[in-house]
Structure 1
């Protein structure tokens, strides 16, 4: 065995042991060390996201009920505050706010159903004709045969829905009914005791934790309130603008299409796109390609006005998420809980972002006070 000048074997310590792990780790190239660390972090993140997704799927009905409850509470909060200023007792004010919501939902639903129930069969037929025209255009203009197109459509349907299951459909319907009832009960108690419960939580905290929690809670609630009221206003304006365009162009079923546009407005980007596509398909089937192009132009104009003028004006900067983030969040919500998940995913993401941003700004402000550096700019009001 070869020895060094001092009589020790290379690679061994004075006691004859192998090098310490820290020495062996330091002997590795920095690129290898960085790759190992980042790979380990990535594995931990993936496992965490997988476990979080499993929990979210198991608790999806409860999570959706809670999200809907918070959304409706933020929407009804001005009504509750108005009743409280009129000296109405808290429990009665919460009950009246809840009854007002139910009255509006039932009343609007009854009016819309009476006006459009007879037209939904025609809407289905018009959509079928529009899809058939689109299919004919695709098979004529592109090198795709009917069999290939059927195969592609079948793959998309199987990937999205996996077919209809009667037992699964009944279970989903039961979950929807149960979640709706749970949301109504929680909404009453949240309107009645929400502020006292929040103050109870704050009293259990002390020092800086109480301050940052109160600040983050106010920011999150303002964001949710701005989103709930702003989304409803923007959806109503979209439905009014597109519905008026359909009436002026003589497209049938303008009221059902306006209703679809209003509901689609609660799912950012995706909902408006789907609602606009439905309106264009109906116009194509009923009036031909020229009217369909005019409807498409009207949909684009209305949505551009909404995105570039109305949304910044109504939402301000409280609910500012990048379109790419919105698409990812809506897709994730849809995969986890279907259409209800798509409805609640964006407000959850917006509130989470605002809370995290508020906590970070609070920490930066405390650090600036300690070091004497200029404080960070205030959060959007």
Structure 2
């Protein structure tokens, strides 16, 4: 009997060592990520202010970049971007915010009543069904609606903290728009040369992903709200404006948000307009969501988010458990940015120079992330 060649044993040993090293690295990364998340949650208002500032900066960045390319001073360009944000938010609040907020209480009541009416309809159509089980499902759905739909009185006790976080976010937006590229360059310069180049590629890949996501999700949310809201207005649903606003906001939570908003619109229509109009709204919700999911979303988000639907769903669930609604909103962009940053860090150096986020012509100078 002959023993296995020594070379084969050495190769097997090296593979085992590499596998063990990979597993250890993954465990260390997961532990570090957990500790970072726990630390950030302990200063949640500060964390949300920084994240909100980054999202707004990514959204408004093209405007300030265009102004800088036309020789507008950095401070004025950043101030113009900040004013644009305040103008849009202020106009939206003035035009629809007051009316929609006044209808939020009615929206919750009508949605809950819709669940109760749906329960009786199911019991009538299916006489042999276990009514106790139907009651349990209806109670669970009512509880979900009450927790998912915003309340006009929610968060009054934390209004001061929210105002402080908002002001901090606005200040951060101004400085990120004005000095973001310089801040990033300073951070990169603090690391060794070869690692610095990799970190620079990772940062720019993540930033491009964040910018693409913010622009895409706003467009998708607007299309959802306009499509479903138009049907509600045509049918004369009393709470059409509030439902359209809810649809727009819910679109920022992938998969789950659209389902909740569509269910609320259908249930409210069932109570206010009857079964026929409710079926029309349900058909419109399905049509709009299918068009968005199969046509608009892949077209708009293809270059920004490369996540499997299962990963998206798990990210939303984990974000909700860790940070509530705010966690659900930022879970998907955080995962997408992290994924693209890792790809950018691992890709081989190229001769092209990576442009800053607000550079004049990023499309010609950036290196592409390979999926």
Q: TM-score normalised by the shorter chain: which range applies? A: 0.7 to 0.9
1:97 is matched with 81
1:379 and 2:369 correspond: yes
Would the alpha carbon gap of residues 311 and 88 (structure 1) be closer, same or farther in structure 2, given more than 3 Å must change?
same
Q: Distance in 2 between matches of 1:286 and 1:317?
A: 42
**Residue deviations 1:246-285 (CA, integer Å, cap 9, x gap):** 2333433222211111111111111111111111111111
8 Å contact from structure 1 (residues 334, 341) kept in 2: yes
Shift in CA distance, 336/85, structure 1 to aligned 2, threshold 3 Å: same
Contact 1:330 1:341 in 2 (8 A): yes
Aligned to 1:127: 111
SS of 2:71's partner is coil
Aligned counterpart, 2:257: 271
Q: What whole-Å deviation, never above 9, does each CA across 1:54-96 have from its counterpart, x for those lacking one? A: 3242132222222111110000101111221232211121112
| 146, 149, 161: which one aligns with 2:136 | 149
The alignment status of 1:237 with 2:223, answered yes or no, reads yes
Query: How far apart, CA to CA, are the structure 2 residues paired with 1:204 and 1:49?
Result: 22
**1:241 Cα deviation from its structure 2 partner:** 0.9
**Residue in 2 that maps onto 1:321:** 307
Q: Which protein has the larger Cα radius of gyration, Structure 1 or Structure 2? A: 1
In the alignment, structure 1 segments of 5+ residues that lack a partner are 1-36, 366-376
Cα 1:286–1:229 change in 2 (3 A) is: same
Classify 1:92/1:73 alpha carbon distance in 2 versus 1 (closer, same or farther; 3 Å).
same
Aligned with 1:213 (options 199, 202, 217): 199
Kindly report which structure 2 residues correspond to 1:169-184, keeping only aligned pairs within 5 A, or say none.
172-184=158-170
State the alpha-carbon separation in 1 of the partners of residues 84 and 24 from structure 2. 53
Q: 1:185 to 1:136 in 2, by over 3 A?
A: same
1:194-250 Cα offsets, whole Å, 9 max, x none, are 111112223334432222122111111110110001110111011111112223334
User: How big is the alpha-carbon RMSD for the aligned residues of Structure 1 and Structure 2?
Assistant: 3.6
Cα shift at 1:138: 5.3
Shift of 1:378: 5.9
1:86 matched to 2:73:
no
Q: TM-score, normalised by structure 2?
A: 0.77
Contact 1:64 1:344 in 2 (8 A): no
